[in-house]
Structure formats: structure tokens, C-alpha cells
Structure 1
């Protein structure tokens, strides 16, 4: 059955292939007000899940819900506020969700940020590092006990093929996680945050396994998707790519496979519902991928170091 799923299988087709029934299941999809996240939320609600729709404002959540209801009128959706640039709202979101006394079967950490200049959040963190990694790291910590209590459960973390392309072969630059060094590069900052996603997913999986808890954690590259988040490949981005990319030919091959949001959401949906998902693995184009995974992705010491740094920063 899984053999019928190829790189350009749409997300909605995934749940048809697996005859997915998520009735009684609860899902959170961060960044579900637009783009890939909106399609992930729509498809999982089509499969019967109750889906939490968090956005920076409740107005955006309600707009997303209205969009989903146009094609899934029976969808069970809950609007909530979550701003990953403000960790006080991350804590408030977790508190409000836990107050609903619901299980948490699937957490999709989909939200992301790309910004072309160095900006710090109100908590003092470089924005891409804060939104793409630290905010989601905090969210998982706050919801971890609920996720374990809901086992078998899943956490899906959206990374990028640029986890490998935009970091040196030696791995993560721990001295520049927060943009401390001069000469800010939007893409390099993004690449660092995406390698953080990989380390977070793999260390999470190791910790759940050590506790004997049936939680499946995966990370993924959604593909070359033109969304409101990235605005497409501009000349300045392309120039930055040529300056910093380690594997230009691989990146160009990826650019030759453009995806709309229906295709961009498919790997996330596959990781959320497939009975064949491998714990701790990195997925791309609806299958396990090692080609676009950084050479140091399995470095346990680096992952533990990032975990400790993240915990200390959040204190």
C-alpha cells in the first residue's frame, strides 16, 4: 500500500490510501492559519480528528476555521491564540489547552519563520531561532506529560532540507545560535534553526524510548513550497544561497520539484497517520530521507548540548 505513495501524492490522498479514521483523536497544528499548516489541519479534520487551530490572533484562527469548513463542513475545530515570538503566550496556550482536559494524540510543530534581517523577540532571541526552535521546544516541554498520557501519540517537527545545506560539515555553530556573530545571513540563521529541529526530534525520541513511552517523533522537509512564509525564491535569497550553500546541485534538484500546499502538506500528514512511520526518522517526499540530512544529525552529544542550552535559555 505504501508503495503507491510517491513524492507528489497529495495530503488528502494519504488518508484515503491508509483509510485513516482519527475519530476521537485530538491534534494541534501550529501555524495552521495559512499555507502548509492550514492544509494539514484541513486533511486531519477530514479524517475525523478534533483539531486545535492556534494563530497569533484569534481572528486569524477563526478565518482559518471558516476556510476549512468550506470543504469539511463537519470539521471539529477549536480556535486558540499562540504567538511563538512571545513565550508568555506559549505558556498561556499550553495552560488553556490543558484546561480543556483533552488528550493530545498528534502534535504537529509546523509553524516557521523566515526573515531577511536580524530581529529579536521581546524575550531577547533572534526571531528564526525563537520561532522555529525555541518556541516549539518550550511547547513540547509544557505538553509532554499530556502527550505521554495519550500514547500511542506522535510529534511531527517541520524542518527543512537546508538543515544540511546551510550548516558547516562540522555541524551546528553553538556560538551563533542567537545570531551573536557579525554578518547576519537570513539563510544561515534559518539553516541553524532547521538543524535544531532535527536534533530536537532525535533527542526527544531517545528520551521517550528510554522512558518506555510509545511516542513517535519524526522530523521532515515539506518540499519546495511557495507559501506566505517564504515568499518564494527572490534574487537576494538566491544570491545568499550561492554564497553559503554546501550542496548547490542537490538544492537545484529540489527546486525542480515545486509543490503547492496540497503536496507540501503530504509528508506531514504521512508522518501523522502512517502505520509504517519509523521513530526518530527524517522524512522527505513521503519517505525516509538521508540524502538531505546533515552529516552530524545522529550526533547525540550535540543534540544533548542543544537540549541543555535550550532549557537554560528558557529559564
Structure 2
């Protein structure tokens, strides 16, 4: 029985990284969404203490990444840190960033898809996709597909099946919406009952086309977080036989800079959603468990919360739905996982 058996919602990323330090040492790891006051920062700092060969930090603002890189240098000056500027709402930008990654390394051992956006007002990516779905899922789908050759190289070099990992930072917010295949862009198109928000979601917390409100930010966020889980399910199906594991995680309830684009009303709604608020070190614990716990090498399940595998709603684990989302994602990225 591994150390995770005794871990709870209070477990910190520092503790998890210490427990799995031998699994971190010598690894090349890429983390998206790294900036001050973020889970990306706490994840990177916890990893840096234990001798990874290289940390690739990817985010929109180089100056903010540089602040984190300076902190890493103080913790462990021997870690080589590379900064990759990427806007996950631009597929052109993602391809440019992926090319840079190939110039910086010939393998990846762990890819942590941590970046996210949550917003109250509807917006779109440069390709015209609803922003939260387009950034949180489609952006990471494309980036992961582009970097898969490096992950496969990492798996081959490791010699240990399942230690090469892809980790999608999802959320318990997935419970707010399944994938809306008939209206993923929230344009007011009719959708079947199985694509509606689950029963029990208050009326004021979901779209109402009849009332002239085809968009609601938290429903869109929920869809994107469901997509993160289904992405892991599909990746596991495609890559586990080749030595690459994939997981999605709920980091817990944490106040970070992610909430900066929410309205005051939506902030108040979030305030009432949890009885336990994690600090940033606690918030990265489950991500680190998913990335480095050797007991997960052969795990069939795809979702973790508080460092443990847990079950999810059927619409977030169904293989057929995962495959349908994969096909939609390929369509929205023109089916081209090429640089």
C-alpha cells in the first residue's frame, strides 16, 4: 500500500512531491498555465525541489513565467527551466509553441495540462470556438496531440510502463454540464435532453434560450471540464498500450487568479460551493499524485480527487462519448496534429 492511502484534502503538493521524489528526479516535464498565484506555479515549485532534469513552463505571459522561474532558481538552481509563450486560444500559437518544445527536448516524461480560463461573459477563440471549451479543452487536445511523439519517446526511454503521464487539470465543476455536441458553441441551438445540465442544477445557473440567455459561463466551464476528463479517457484508450498513462484531476476548491474574469454575482456563487478551501500547495497535490504515483501505472480509471481515484458521472467516462468528443476535437483542429 503506497503513501496515498493516508492522504486527504489537507495533503500538500510538497508532501506528495517528497513521497515521489525518486519518480521526479531526472524527468523532463512540461506544465501549462504557469504564472504567479496559480496552481501552475505551486506545481512547478513542488517538482523543482526534487531534481527534474528540465522544466518547460508554458503560458501566455513571459514576464509572469519569468517570476516563477526566478523562484525555481532559488529553490534548485540546477534545474534547467525553459519558457514557452503560448496562447491556448490560438491554434496557430499552439503549433508554434509545439515546434519550440521539439527544439528544446527530444522527450517528455510528464505533460501537465493545467492552464484554464473561466469567464462569465461569452467570448471566442481566434478560430471562433467558445472560449472556455476552445481553450481549456481544444487547445490542450491540440497541444497534447502535437507533443505525443515526445511522450512516446519518453515512454520508450523510461523502460517502465505507465510512468510517462499526461495529466489534465479538470474540476468537480464537470457536474454542471455534459458535452453539448449539438450546441458546444452556445449559439442557442436546440439540444437533446442528455446534453442539458444535469437535474438539480438551479435554473439561474444554466442557459435559458427562451429567456434570451443561450449562454451561461458556469455551464460552459462545466462542459470544458467534462471534456478534460473525456480527453483523458480517450488518451488512455489510445496510449496506455504504448506506455503512456493519462488522468484528469479535481484539484479542490482554491482561490487563484483564475477567477479574475468572473462577475461579482458569479464570485458569490463560487463562495458558497465549498466548505473547505485549499491553499495553493494543497491544490497541486492531486496533480502531482496523478503525475508521479507509481501505484497508478496500470490504473484503468481516469479521474482523481484528493489524490485518490474516484468515480465520475457516466457522461464523463463513457468510451463512446469520449470517442465522439475526440472526433469533434479533430474536426475543430482540422484533424492536423502536425507542426
Please, what TM-score do these two structures have when normalized by structure 1? Answer: 0.88
Deviation at 1:57, TM superposition (A): 2.7
1:124 — aligned with what? 128
Distance 2:147 2:301 in 1: 19
**Aligned residue in 1 for 2:331:** 312
Q: Which of 235, 245, 260 lines up with 1:204 in the alignment?
A: 235
Gaps of at least 5 residues in structure 1 are 242-250
Q: Which residue of 1 aligns with 2:148?
A: 144
Match of 2:56, SS state, is: strand
> 2: distance between equivalents of 1:234 and 1:222?
22
Q: Following TM superposition, by how much is the alpha carbon of 1:68 offset from its aligned partner in structure 2, in angstroms?
A: 2.7
Distance change (3 Å), C-alpha of 1:101 and 1:19: closer
Q: What residue is the counterpart of 1:178 in the other structure?
A: 185
How far is the alpha carbon of 1:123 from its aligned partner?
Answer: 1.6
1:85 Cα deviation after fit: 1.3
Structure 2, unmatched stretches of 5+, are: 156-162, 189-208, 335-339
Alpha-carbon contact 1:203-1:304 (below 8 Å) kept: yes
- Cα distance in 1 between the residues matched to 2:264 and 2:29: 38
Contact 1:33 1:53 in 2 (8 A): no
Cα–Cα, structure 1 residues 296 and 117, in superposed 2: closer, same or farther, change >3 Å?
A: same
Give the superposition deviation at 1:116. 1.0
Q: Which residue of 2 aligns with 1:36?
A: 39
- Whether 1:52 aligns to 2:81 is no
Question: Are the counterparts in 2 of residues 21 and 48 from structure 1 also a CA contact under 8 Å?
Answer: no
Given that residues 129 and 189 in structure 1 are in contact (C-alpha distance below 8 angstroms), is that contact kept between their aligned partners in structure 2? yes
Q: How far apart are residue 234 of structure 1 and its match?
A: 6.6
The answer on whether the counterparts of 1:205 and 1:280 sit within 8 Å (CA) in structure 2 is: no
Q: CA deviation at 1:66?
A: 1.4
**Partner SS, residue 20 of structure 1:** helix
The corresponding residue for 2:243 is 214
CA shift at 1:19, angstroms? 3.9
1:265 paired to 2:265: no
CA contact (8 A) 1:26 1:102 kept: no
Alpha carbons 2:166, 2:247 under 8 Å: kept:
yes
Contact 2:119/2:261 (8 A) holds in 1: no
Shift of the alpha carbon at 1:176? 2.1
Q: Judging changes above 3 Å, is the alpha-carbon distance between structure 1 residues 240 and 268 closer, same or farther for their aligned structure 2 residues?
A: same
Which residue of structure 2 aligns with residue 159 of structure 1?
Answer: 170
Structure 1 residue runs of 4 or more that deviate by more than 6 Å after TM superposition? 238-241
Aligned length, in residue pairs = 297
CA distance in 2, matches of 1:239, 1:55: 28
Q: CA shift at 1:240, angstroms?
A: 6.4
Q: Report the secondary structure of 1:236's partner residue.
A: helix
Contact 1:267 1:285 (C-alpha < 8 Å) held by counterparts: yes
Once residues 61 and 11 of structure 1 are traced to their aligned partners in structure 2, the CA distance between those partners, rounded to angstroms, is 20
Aligned to 2:98: 94
Shift of the alpha carbon at 1:53? 1.0
Secondary structure of 1:192 counterpart: helix
C-alpha distance in structure 2 between counterparts of 1:306 and 1:204, whole Å: 12
Output one character per residue of 1:235-266: Cα deviation in whole Å (capped at 9) or x when no partner. Answer: 5226767xxxxxxxxx96x6111001100011
Equivalents in 2 of 1:308, 1:21: separation in Å? 34
Within the candidate set 83, 100, 107, 1:103 is matched to 107
Quick one: structure 1 residues 233 and 13, their matched pair in 2 at CA, closer, same or farther if it must change by over 3 Å? Answer: farther
Once the two structures are superposed, residues 161-217 of structure 1 have per-residue CA deviations (whole angstroms, 9 ceiling, x without a partner) of 0112x12xxx422122122225210000000001111111001101113xx211110
SS in structure 1 at match of 2:314: coil
Q: TM-score, normalised by structure 2?
A: 0.82
Answer whether contact 1:224 1:257 (CA < 8 A) is retained: yes
CA RMSD of aligned residues (A): 2.1
For residues 288-315 of structure 1, the C-alpha deviation after alignment (integer angstroms, 9 at most, x for no partner) is 122xx22322211111111111101111
